[in-house]
């Protein structure tokens, strides 16, 4: 009888031990993810360029502007703000030869104009 009780106790112990070993290591909580950078993304750098309008393409919504040193092509979109003095004008209102100041952001290999300011010709002084 003692041998039977000992055998049952041994089998129970082996079964319990193998069950614990089959579980493996207890799952530990994953380390908390590194907090996202608290710094805001730097704003897109706006490039300023001034010069004379050399050509325009209404279909592509682009204008070519040149100054003494370089010539650059700018693309407009629905967010481009075009002003002449204090009034807002359309892209179609721009004329070749007009002097402009453009602020644009670079996306890929394109310069997307965010603002276009058309120079207003100064009024001739009145003679007395």
The more confident residue out of 24 and 100 is 100
Question: How high is the pLDDT of residue 71?
Answer: 94
Which pLDDT band, with edges at 50, 70 and 90, does 108 fall under? confident
pLDDT tens digits, residue range 49-92? Answer: 999 999 999 888 999 999 998 999 999 999 999 999 889 999 88
Whether residue 100 is predicted with pLDDT greater than 90 in this model: the reply is yes
Distance of CA 58 to the CA centre of its chain: 26
- Does the pTM surpass 0.85? The reply is no
CATH architecture of 46-118: Beta Barrel (2.40)
Whether residue 27 is predicted with pLDDT greater than 60 in this model: the reply is no
Whether residue 6 is predicted with pLDDT greater than 90 in this model: the reply is no
Token pair belonging to 108:
């890929």
19-40: average pLDDT: 60
Question: How high is the pLDDT of residue 85?
Answer: 87
What is the rounded distance in angstroms from the CA atom of residue 82 to the CA atom of residue 94?
A: 9
Question: How high is the pLDDT of residue 8?
Answer: 77
Whether residue 20 is predicted with pLDDT greater than 70 in this model: the reply is no
Domain edges within the chain? 46-118
What is the rounded distance in angstroms from the CA atom of residue 6 to the CA atom of residue 78?
A: 87
Among 113, 108, 120, smallest CA distance to 72 is for 113
What is the rounded distance in angstroms from the CA atom of residue 33 to the CA atom of residue 109?
A: 35
101 SS3 class: strand
């Amino acid at each position: 009888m003692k041998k039977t009780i000992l055998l049952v106790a041994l089998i129970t112990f082996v079964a319990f031990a193998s069950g614990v070993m089959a579980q493996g290591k207890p799952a530990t909580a994953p380390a908390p993810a590194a907090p996202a950078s608290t710094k805001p993304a730097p704003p897109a750098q706006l490039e300023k360029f001034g010069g004379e309008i050399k050509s325009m393409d209404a279909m592509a919504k682009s204008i070519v502007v040149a100054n003494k040193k370089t010539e650059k092509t700018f693309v407009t979109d629905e967010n481009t703000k075009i002003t002449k003095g204090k009034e807002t004008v359309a892209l179609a209102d721009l004329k070749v030869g007009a002097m402009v100041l453009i602020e644009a952001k670079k996306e890929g290999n394109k310069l997307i104009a965010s603002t276009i300011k058309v120079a207003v010709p100064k009024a001739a002084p009145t003679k007395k």
